[in-house]
Amino acid sequence: MQNNTNSLGRESEQRAKAFLESKGYTILETNWRHLKLEIDLIARQSDTIVFVEVKFRKNDEYGEPELFVNRKKQNFIIKAANAYLELHNIQYESRFDIVALSKKRNEIIHLEGAFFPTLVKPL
């Protein structure tokens, strides 16, 4: 049995998916996994592959949902996106978006190009 947090997360992802589809995006993957990495939604908009992180918060007491996609989380998404592009031999341009939902705001915020890959020093 799923707990309430998992249920809210899945519901938020479904709302984000419907929202993006209403804007003309084609959803290619939902909850795509590579090893221990996951991308919530992978979509296509014209000739761009869009990797989407969906964030939901019951309230904004500790900050808006989009602020919780920290650099560590971004790096995980970027690594997973690279794997996806390589596995599927995709040559399209790519972009990283955040779709933020908040019960308090009762709206969907879509941040296109929310973050970008940066050069990471090897360990």
Can you tell me the distance from the alpha carbon of 12 to that of 29, in angstroms, rounded to the nearest whole number? 15
Residue type, 100: A
Question: What mean pLDDT is reported for the chain?
Answer: 89
Contact 73, 53 (CB under 8 A): yes
CATH topology of domain 4-114: Trna Endonuclease; Chain: A, domain 1 (3.40.1350)
Can you tell me the distance from the alpha carbon of 91 to that of 49, in angstroms, rounded to the nearest whole number? 9
pLDDT tens digits, 70-116? 999 999 999 999 999 999 999 899 999 999 998 777 789 999 999 99
Percent of the residues in the chain that have a pLDDT greater than 90, as a whole number = 68
Domain residues of the chain, as ranges?
Answer: 4-114
Model confidence at 28: pLDDT above 80: yes
Phi first, then psi, for residue 19 (nearest 5°) are -60, -50
- Tokens 């596995």 map to which residue? 87
Model confidence at 5: pLDDT above 90: no
pTM: 0.88
Retrieve residue 65's tokens. Answer: 């949902």
Residue-by-residue DSSP string for 80-102:
HHHHHHHHTT--SEEEEEEEEEE
Radius of gyration of the chain (CA): 14
Helix (H, G, I), strand (E, B) or coil at 15: helix
